[in-house]
A = this chain, B = another copy of it.
Amino acid sequence: PVSEQSPHQTYFSAEPLDRLSVKRPDSDWIRTRQQDPGTVYLLFHKLSPMIREGDSGGTGPADSRLCRFTYGELKELLERPGSQLVFLGVERSLPPCPTADPQKPPDPAPRAWFALGSDLDQSELLQLSKEPNKCCFPKNPHRDLLRLGEEEAGLVSHSRSVLAWHSRYSFCSTCGGRSRVEEAGHKRSCENTACISHQGVHNTCYPRVDPVVIMLVLHPDQSQCLLGRKKVFPSGMFSCLAGFIEPGECVEAAVRREVQEESGVLVDRVWYVCSQPWPMPSSLMIGCLAVAVTTEISVDQDEIEEAKWFTRQQVIDSLIGGSGAAFMVPPRQTIAHQLLRHWTGLSSNL
């Protein structure tokens, strides 16, 4: 397998920063970086980042940009109750240049980035920006967070998942007591010193990531694929089946179970293709191809409105986006779209 080409990078998975997790417990270091005038802050209202909309009116490849703030601009907000700080990492240092002047002073500490979540009024937060009229907190994450550049999408996926965890996990699930933030926003510990969560290391203290399988199921003769639609999808759109991995399952077993539950189709072989973090609120999408051994469809009406076999040509037509296409594919930023492209052999335009 080591000779194959690496699969495409997915939207939300860029890692422009070094997370430098080793520094998270060092509160002195964190505080110093926090107050550095070069440090960059991203500002969130609840789980929505402040963005500046592009001038293209929402059609360009990256028509929203994250607003950036300095420590000076957020100093007061940082002290307010309801503010949640997350250390995102530092900019990756370039490898030292061999022809560099040895007399030159060493590089300063790399620039640090933080996310700051606040539950104050949006209008109050917008006033912190230099261009409050051009900025906003987008309302529909499934649509609006797909308009960022690759690197900013990576920062949002990290920030949003961790902020969502703080918003839903501020009590200790083991004893019901309040928990306190530690490790620069990446850990919560129970404030009840008698709580058994203090004995040993437990997942209750760490941000949750929910693994999900998402799979393009191929017909036994591999000429067609199985797609489904949920009631909430835009009209005409079909996508890959998907579902949460359950305790005690491997990836392949979860693919087989979810496909059978949602469509009645039995699957045999399964191949991993690529993965994607999905920060709504904190999933890890594990993208697979799977080959069916039966073809009769019987949908789980609770979850899926309709499931159908589509030919390879129908998928190609839909990816190319002609008006006569049999159905609408999900947006290119989704791993479902990338799985469809992967199967048809159309190169990614991500």
A204 touching B2 in the complex, CB below 8 Å, given contacts A19-B246, A22-B300: no
- Report A182-214 CB contacts with B as 1/0, cut-off 8 Å: 000010000000000100001110111111000
Q: Which of B22, B168, B277 contacts A249 (CB 8 A)?
A: B277
Say yes or no: is A108 at the interface (Cβ < 8 Å to chain B): no
Whether B172 and A171, one on each chain, are in contact in the complex, defined by CB atoms closer than 8 angstroms, is yes
Interface residue tally on A, bucketed by range: 35 or more
Q: Is A170 an interface residue (CB 8 A)?
A: yes
Is A276 an interface position by the 8 A CB rule? yes
Q: Which residue of B162, B168, B170, B276 is within 8 Å of A250 (Cβ)?
A: B276
Are the CB atoms of B247 and A289 closer together than 8 Å?
Answer: no
A114 on interface, CB distance cutoff 8 Å: no
Contacting chain B: which of A32-40, A48-56, A280-288, A305-313? A280-288
Quick one: which of A259-309 are within 8 Å of B by CB? 261, 269-277, 279, 281-282, 284, 286, 289, 291, 300
For residue A327, CB closer than 8 A to chain B, the reply is no
Is there an interface contact between B174 and A169, defined as CB atoms closer than 8 Å?
A: yes
**A159: interface (CB < 8 Å):** yes
- A127 touches B (CB below 8 Å): no
Contact of A173 among B173, B210, B246 (CB under 8 A): B173
The distance in angstroms between the C-alpha atoms of A172 and B10, with both chains bound, is 34
- Asked if A111 is at the interface of the complex by the 8 Å CB criterion, the answer is no
Contact between chains at A171 and B176 (CB < 8 Å): yes
> Does any Cβ of B come within 8 Å of A46's Cβ?
no
CB contacts (< 8 Å) of A272 on chain B: these are: 272
In contact, B171 and A247 (Cβ under 8 angstroms)? no
CB distance from A101 to the nearest CB of B (A): 25
Known contacts A1-B271, A1-B273, A257-B19, A162 near B247 by CB under 8 Å: yes
Contact B248 A218 (CB under 8 A): no
A284 partner, pick from B159, B160, B168, B245, beta carbons under 8 A:
B245
A175 contacts the other chain (Cβ, under 8 Å)? yes
Contact partners of A274 in chain B: CB under 8 A: 250, 252
A209 lies within 8 A of B19 (CB): no
Q: Are A257 and B15 in contact (CB under 8 A)?
A: yes
* A157 CB within 8 Å of chain B: yes
Q: Is A124 an interface residue (CB 8 A)?
A: no
Question: Which of A170, A208, A270 has the most chain B CB atoms closer than 10 A to its own CB?
Answer: A208
A318 within 8 A of B: no
Name 14 extra pairs, CB < 8 A, besides A2-B291, A209-B244, A247-B279.
A6-B269, A10-B250, A13-B249, A21-B246, A158-B246, A160-B248, A168-B203, A169-B174, A171-B176, A172-B176, A203-B208, A207-B246, A211-B284, A250-B274
A residues in contact (CB < 8 Å) with B: 1-2, 4, 6, 9-10, 12-13, 15, 19, 21-22, 154, 157-162, 165, 168-178, 186, 197, 202-204, 206-211, 218, 222, 244-253, 256-257, 261, 269-277, 279, 281-282, 284, 286, 289, 291, 300
Q: 8 shortest A-B CB distances, which residue pairs? A: A158-B248, A161-B247, A171-B176, A13-B250, A157-B248, A272-B272, A251-B275, A169-B173
